[in-house]
Chain A
Amino acid sequence: DTGVSQDPRHKITKRGQNVTFRCDPISEHNRLYWYRQTLGQGPEFLTYFQNEAQLEKSRLLSDRFSAERPKGSFSTLEIQRTEQGDSAMYLCASSPGQYTDTQYFGPGTRLTVL
């Protein structure tokens, strides 16, 4: 399967714990995006990487959130000291790198904070 993959698919954690999600983009895709989707809503942009550089972050991304993309391949999204309001679907998308490119989405990681 050469699509975008995400791991884990589901994560249940207790409030205050740290969690980390992984995204593997489509091979050769330079751009990688993280979005957050709450129930019944459209995804909202969190952050964006061009290769290994994190070039834009949404104000939704509080200082408890950090994302990395070492070597411009896979990316991780870490949430520290989780809160119940962090419960959502976290989606990763990638695109080849031209501004007209389509973004291809992974299956998402559903986070539940108890």
Chain B
Amino acid sequence: EAQVTQNPRYLITVTGKKLTVTCSQNMNHEYMSWYRQDPGLGLRQIYYSMNVEATDKGDVPEGYKVSRKEKRNFPLILESPSPNQTSLYFCASSLGGQGRWETQYFGPGTRLLVL
């Protein structure tokens, strides 16, 4: 089954404790991205990647890191989480290319609470 998977689905942590949220897709998609969803703000893009070893900042990259060493994986790293990073996080992927990358497939989401 074609899908985007995220782990963990739920995470409670404390301020300053490094964490990683994994994202994997099995569709051989070139484009991957991370979003956070906050009430009343919609989705905001954190980082995106056009292909392996090619990452770029989205609208809200502060406090986050990403890497794209393999085409299928795009982990999100919070080196020192803070309470304002409490949010619902989504990973997404798409084929890429003109007119195609906008058809993004989203993972199920990771709900993060930073105490």
A is bound by B? no
A interface residues, Cβ below 8 angstroms from B: none
B interface residues, Cβ below 8 angstroms from A: none
